[in-house]
Structure 1
Amino acid sequence: MASGSSNLNGIEPRTASAVTFAAKLSFEDIHHSYHGKETIRGISMSAQPGEVLCLLGPSGSGKTTLLRIAAGIEAQGGGRVLLNDQEIAGPNVFLPPERRGVGLMFQDFALFPHMSVLDNVRFGLTALPKSEATKEARFALERVGLAHYADKFPHALSGGEQQRVALARALAPRPSVLLMDEPFSGLDSRLKDSIRADTLAILRHSRATAIVVTHDAEEAMRMADRIALLRDGRLVQVGTAEELYLKPADIFAAGFFSEINIFPGFVKSGRVETPLGNVPAGPLADGSNVRIAVRLSGVAVSQSGGTIPARVLSRRFLGVVELLELAVPGTDQLVRARIRAGQLPSGLREVTVSANERDILVFEKDA
């Protein structure tokens, strides 16, 4: 394995003191504004004890603001934050960060360069006697597989190792809820998968409730028990990765979890005509204007086995897959498709296409 990561999946808590009592963290009708602009618009949801909840969304959707409100770094403009159904931030209560039992891991790790790794991890344990704080810090480093780096300084560590030191520091006080802001964004893409898996194993063993901010849908699907999708300060949908992928609440959610073609359409006799086939309209009434999303991965392209003739206009090799742009009858819009690399002969122009009905999603236009 590359430097900066080790296989931590076998790590087990060694003493009873390793167990954290996970808490439920709830947001109730949270509002927040910054310089007169509303950044959080009435969000309500809960992270259940011991689960990993990912806050997912594009930049500016309110993910980090919500995390900072939970940590006590920001005060909400309205609503309440509750820990195990006890209010920690609301109209009449505002507990400071150090009294919330909540750990926060920053995006840039925020390690002190003049302190050793051990001292960095021990930094948040000021309530303990020095000998006990040192013991807890060493245990936290052991938990993340870096006990042998206790006397080194941050500059001597790789990015992945620094990430794990920051994780050890956040876990050392044994918070009941751990908040992580884009914890993998600064890491080399080659290391992300292994370090993400290691981190998830550590979170499972620590048994803390974890809320992880990310803008990467695949990362959220890899890590989360549940995903909360945000847009423009609002909660779009919350559920498991499978629920959000298979039953997206709207076309924004559909496009966040997979690349899609989008076509206009309308409902006639309970069905919708699309350039790639006729599909049921579900509960939408006849005459409704709709937007049709077709996943690129759901478009099948072959020399002769499809139902619709098409012409290949462009073809891009992306390693495992190829990205095609196709012209089909009935629309001026190009249809994009992702197919397995080498599936079609080189230079082929005239093909046929079809689409898997489960990859054609119909949404009301105004929604």
Structure 2
Amino acid sequence: MLQIHEIQCQYESDIVVDKVSFHVNDGDICSLLGPSGCGKTTILRAIAGFQPLTHGQVILRDQCLSQPGKLVDPEQRNIGMVFQDYALFPHLSVKDNIRFGLRKQSSAQQNSTVKRLLELVQLEDIGHRYPHELSGGQQQRVALARALAPSPDLLLLDEPFSNLDAELRKRLSLEVRDILKELKISAILVTHDQQEAFAFSDQIGLLHGGQLQQWDTPFNLYHEPSNRTVADFIGEGCFIPGVIGGEANTISTELGTLIGNRAYHWPQGSPVEVLLRPDDIVLSELGGITATVEKKVFSGSATLYTLSLPTGSRVEALLPSHRDYAIKETVQITTEADHLIAFSREEVLHGAA
């Protein structure tokens, strides 16, 4: 439905988005994830028509919307947009804010659409109010309804939940996802919040330094990172040194011989760095490696421990919180890693993956 083909954007002489490509299917909900300044909002602006391209193309339903020297006006793209600050018209009521993009429809059609959308976003009783009379969550629902009113092919959301408190942010993002799925509208969310992207998205694109590092499902980003940059950014975890063993799927480490779910392409004896997630480290009933508790973060049902190994390496372990281990206490651990991720140590040292 949407094709982003090797787009490049720059401000004056600075390239801020460099040869980024991905595609969005009908009904897919996607996210652009990354730290501040990585280029994700610039990509959103390029799709919306607010940012020209110096290379590449933006194609929506087989129509080229942007390429160098060509920029279809934003209002001609049939793309809706929800902004971080909601951008509601303060002098218009909730109903009239939603009605704003429906001026080409008859009055009866407008009234029908507004009524349907107010019911959809659960604001049917406050259509007469003005933005300053609404809570942040209500304003966000109005902004969503206004963007959906013209039945866009694609909805763009630029960190729309960032001004809300944590609990409302989580609940509203899931409600918005349900609404988009019900309407079968494709969407792209810009966020720096991993958990929000994981809960909201079918596909996620991780950006770093203006380049797309990986476009994949949340599951694959976490369990199958394509390079060290993705592995460092997504989730939690630690790297420990290892050496490729005699079998192509084994790695010898200070935690013992780890068996991966793939055949590694490096020859036997190659030095590697192994990524271990907190859920890969478990307590050992019999034997195991002795580790010392250095830090702990309690989160209710589980506690995240930072553990020091005898060599000085560190790993993280997410353990049930019914047993409270003290700082400097020792525990016996082993590994249960279904997805064993490794990177060449030489490549890591040279900043590649």
TM-score, length of structure 1 as denominator length = 0.86
1:272 is aligned to 251
2:282 is aligned to 300
Q: Is the 8 A contact 2:224 2:339 kept in 1?
A: no
Between 242-251 and 62-71, report the one with greater CA deviation.
242-251
Q: What is the CA distance between 1:289 and its match in structure 2?
A: 3.8
Identical-residue share of aligned pairs (%): 37
Note closer, same or farther for the CA distance 1:305–1:142 as it changes in structure 2 (3 Å cut): same
Per-residue displacement from partner, 1:103-151 (whole Å, max 9, x unpaired)?
A: 1111111112222111211222233355543443333222212122111
DSSP-derived class of the 2:37 partner: coil
Structure 1 portions without partners, runs of 5+: 1-23
Residue-pair matches, total = 342
**1:79 aligned onto 2:56:** yes
DSSP-derived class of the 1:196 partner: helix
Q: Is the 8 A contact 1:217 1:256 kept in 2?
A: no
2:338 is aligned to 358
Q: What is the CA distance between 1:305 and its match in structure 2?
A: 3.3
Q: Is the 8 A contact 1:116 1:151 kept in 2?
A: yes
Q: Is the 8 A contact 1:295 1:360 kept in 2?
A: no
AA paired with 1:175? P
AA paired with 1:284? W
2:323 is aligned to 343
Q: What is the CA distance between 1:245 and its match in structure 2?
A: 2.1
| Structure 2 CA distance for aligned equivalents of residues 278 and 265 of structure 1 | 9
AA paired with 2:254? P
Return the match for 1:164 from 141, 144, 153: 141
**1:57 aligned onto 2:44:** no
Q: What is the CA distance between 1:299 and its match in structure 2?
A: 1.1
DSSP-derived class of the 2:70 partner: coil
**1:319 aligned onto 2:300:** yes
- The CA RMSD over aligned residues, in Å, is 2.2
Q: Which has the higher contact order (CA 8 A, sep 6+)?
A: 1
Return the match for 2:220 from 229, 239, 243: 243
DSSP-derived class of the 1:149 partner: coil
| Structure 2 CA distance for aligned equivalents of residues 245 and 327 of structure 1 | 23
| Structure 1 CA distance for aligned equivalents of residues 320 and 339 of structure 2 | 17
| Structure 1 CA distance for aligned equivalents of residues 138 and 120 of structure 2 | 13
| Structure 2 CA distance for aligned equivalents of residues 34 and 251 of structure 1 | 28
Note closer, same or farther for the CA distance 1:306–1:33 as it changes in structure 2 (3 Å cut): farther
Structure 2 portions without partners, runs of 5+: 348-352
2:350 is aligned to none
What does 1:1-367 correspond to in 2, within 5 Å? 24-129=1-106, 132-269=109-246, 270=248, 271-280=250-259, 282-301=264-283, 304-329=285-310, 331-344=311-324, 349-358=329-338, 360-365=340-345, 366=347, 367=353
Per-residue displacement from partner, 1:213-260 (whole Å, max 9, x unpaired)?
A: 122222222121222222211111122222222211123323333211
Q: What is the CA distance between 1:43 and its match in structure 2?
A: 0.8
TM-score, length of structure 2 as denominator length = 0.89
